Structure 1
Amino acid sequence: MSADKTKKNKIPFLYIIFLIVVLSCWSFYVISTNSFFVFAKHWAAILTMIFGSFIAGSSPEGSAAVAYPVFTLLLKIEPAVARNFAFAIQSIGMTSASLLILGLKIKVDWNYIKYVTIGGAFGLIFGTYYIVPLISPPLAKLFFVSLWLSFGLVLWYENRHPHREVFDKIQNFIKSDIARLLFFGLIGGMISSIFGTGINIFTFCLMTIYYRIDEKVAVPSSVIIMTFETILGFFVHGAIIADFQQEAFEMWIACVPFVAFFAPLGSFVISKLPRQTIATFLYIILIIQFFGAIWVLKPSLPHLGLCLITLLAGLGTFAFLARLKRKM
């Protein structure tokens, strides 16, 4: 017992080193450029990200799921600025959370992570160049929050059965599973190209509904997937397209020290909770996200119709996945 406990409680050195490097570089920049004004100027962004980064580390929702609607709808920040900020800030928070997950040896499914990440990279790049210019962000937001709510309802229904069988990895992994994960990763990457998040919750739906993966495994796995996706998105917008705005940069500087702590805190807390508690936490997030979007956007009757159609279609799709007998 003592040997196992010592190993499990071993200090995650990669996380500590990352934290020291990030905070040292951040401190040097803020002090040398006298950028302390960003804290007063972007206090609303800081407050949003304290909550959002904890959500990102403790659920399959990236912090952008909180930041994007708050920034674009409440704070009237341009969607492109909110998206670029989301990629930048998650590159700190999600990396920090992932290193803590790896350091604490929290159980993840590496087949899920590997193939979804590959598909997601192609989806993100394709979406950035060919989908983002065509999308109306408010309309797309209504579509996706409706879809996620339908997933939450189906997952809740499935978890009502006290003896529902769940697994800690994909059982009898075969070639068709590779194709399926690549495809879902591709679509998830396209979603992330719009909002700065999405691949994590989209593929989480597949893992928990179809593959019946334990939420305690699927959540940290989705955090690692979003880490790779967000670093790629930050690189694409910061170094290749070079459309990273000054406002996004200032908000990033203001929020870095907060997300570096609160995202891994979320991962640590969620690792200590039972599966049903994690699932309940997810239901609450999805419900708040949906009704929050409805309250802020105040959609027209046709847009409400789109929400209803999406909700019904999602319920049908996820219920079908839940009932589908996977061939081993």
Structure 2
Amino acid sequence: MVFGSFIAGSSPEGSAAIAYPVFTLLLDIPPPVARNFAFAIQSIGMTSATLLILGLHIKVEWNYIRFVTLGGVFGLVLGTYAVVPLVSPVMAKLFFVSLWLSFGIALWLENRRPERQVFDEIRNFKRSDKINLVLFGFIGGIISSLFGTGINIFTYCIMTIYYRVSEKVATPSSVIIMTIETILGFFIHAQVLRDFQPAAFEMWIACVPVVAFFAPLGAFVISKLPRKSIAQFLYFILVVQFFGAMWVIKPSPWQLAMCSTVLAVGLGTFTYLARVRRASSTEGAAGSGG
């Protein structure tokens, strides 16, 4: 959790991105226990990181936070009651680490373009953008219901690739979004469903002092780094996460085929979104210039 909580504060990945696969695949902890622990521990670590972000007045994108959170609340509730019982945790994990890696490759390709422009906010924010963010927040909430994290990195993909919001702004914004989502998830399992297991509680109590320090430390460190360094840090996390999952899960041939398909489709989708946004921005600039 030293590493996981630092990642939670310094990247769009929650600490559950580290804890969940380690707990379920290496330590043989049941997925429901790992998920509930993830919600509980992030309620401490990510809240601490959020308080530091707000206290230092680190730049965030509030439209992103508001509308993604709105959709994420409904997605989390629906996922908890209707999706979690139906999905294999291993298959879901393979799917999402493949999708995140395709995003990392697409972002790397975008950042290799010397003329790439990034912004501190969503430019020309419209009603359609509100709908987009609510929809992606809803999907991200369903993902979070499975693993205890996910809405942050899923919506971060759209922010950086499609809206071209700087990684330096999108990262702390995603931390705040996951903070709200994880507190709600913790409340649902502890007070509504009342399925918060004693094992999850004991691990939570043991790790609270660690994450309360290292999550805000991660947020502080990332606030001092340049944008491209943040992006490089994220590439590293996504690559390690993908190959770590491959090493631990040891997927079958058909699971590898699924991962390859997701990688290809995800990379095509993200590069298409980036190209569409560039084209629309160019047309808009030409129209305003004329």
Same fold (TM over 0.5): yes
> 2:227 matched to which residue of 1?
275
Structure 1 moving runs of 4+ over 4 Å: none
**Secondary structure of 2:13 counterpart:** coil
**Secondary structure of 2:59 counterpart:** coil
TM-score normalised to structure 2 length: 0.96
> 1:37 matched to which residue of 2?
none
> 2:251 matched to which residue of 1?
299
> 2:151 matched to which residue of 1?
199
> 1:139 matched to which residue of 2?
91
Matched, 1:237 2:173: no
CA distance in structure 2 between the aligned counterparts of 1:320 and 1:174, rounded to whole angstroms: 21
> 1:39 matched to which residue of 2?
none
> 1:84 matched to which residue of 2?
36
2:7 to 37, 41, 55: 55
CA distance in structure 2 between the aligned counterparts of 1:323 and 1:160, rounded to whole angstroms: 14
CA distance in structure 1 between the aligned counterparts of 2:7 and 2:97, rounded to whole angstroms: 16
CA distance in structure 1 between the aligned counterparts of 2:191 and 2:165, rounded to whole angstroms: 37
> 2:167 matched to which residue of 1?
215
Tell me which amino acid in the other structure corresponds to 2:135. Answer: F
> 1:65 matched to which residue of 2?
17
Tell me which amino acid in the other structure corresponds to 2:111. Answer: N
Structure label with greater radius of gyration: 1
Give CA-to-partner distance per residue, 1:52-98, whole Å, 9 cap, x none: 00000000000000000000000110000000000000000000000
CA distance in structure 1 between the aligned counterparts of 2:168 and 2:148, rounded to whole angstroms: 24
> 1:29 matched to which residue of 2?
none
Matched, 1:114 2:66: yes
CA distance in structure 2 between the aligned counterparts of 1:267 and 1:57, rounded to whole angstroms: 4
Give CA-to-partner distance per residue, 1:299-318, whole Å, 9 cap, x none: 00000000000000101110
Q: Which residues of 2 match residues 1-328 of structure 1 at below 5 A?
A: 49-325=1-277, 326=280
1:161 is displaced (CA, Å) by 1.4
Output the aligned Cα RMSD: 0.7
CA distance in structure 2 between the aligned counterparts of 1:193 and 1:253, rounded to whole angstroms: 22
CA distance in structure 1 between the aligned counterparts of 2:29 and 2:81, rounded to whole angstroms: 22
> 1:14 matched to which residue of 2?
none
Tell me which amino acid in the other structure corresponds to 1:205. Answer: C
TM-score normalised to structure 1 length: 0.85
> Which consecutive residues of structure 1, in runs of 5 or more, have no partner in the other structure?
1-48
CA distance in structure 1 between the aligned counterparts of 2:109 and 2:43, rounded to whole angstroms: 34
CA distance in structure 2 between the aligned counterparts of 1:196 and 1:320, rounded to whole angstroms: 29
> Which consecutive residues of structure 2, in runs of 5 or more, have no partner in the other structure?
285-290
> 1:18 matched to which residue of 2?
none
**Secondary structure of 2:235 counterpart:** helix
CA distance in structure 2 between the aligned counterparts of 1:302 and 1:172, rounded to whole angstroms: 44
Tell me which amino acid in the other structure corresponds to 2:35. Answer: R
CA distance in structure 1 between the aligned counterparts of 2:274 and 2:122, rounded to whole angstroms: 15
Tell me which amino acid in the other structure corresponds to 1:228. Answer: I
**Secondary structure of 2:251 counterpart:** coil
**Secondary structure of 2:18 counterpart:** helix
CA distance in structure 1 between the aligned counterparts of 2:268 and 2:108, rounded to whole angstroms: 14
Aligned residues: 280
CA distance in structure 2 between the aligned counterparts of 1:319 and 1:164, rounded to whole angstroms: 13
1:162 is displaced (CA, Å) by 2.3
1:163 is displaced (CA, Å) by 2.8
CA distance in structure 2 between the aligned counterparts of 1:164 and 1:258, rounded to whole angstroms: 38
CA distance in structure 1 between the aligned counterparts of 2:261 and 2:115, rounded to whole angstroms: 32
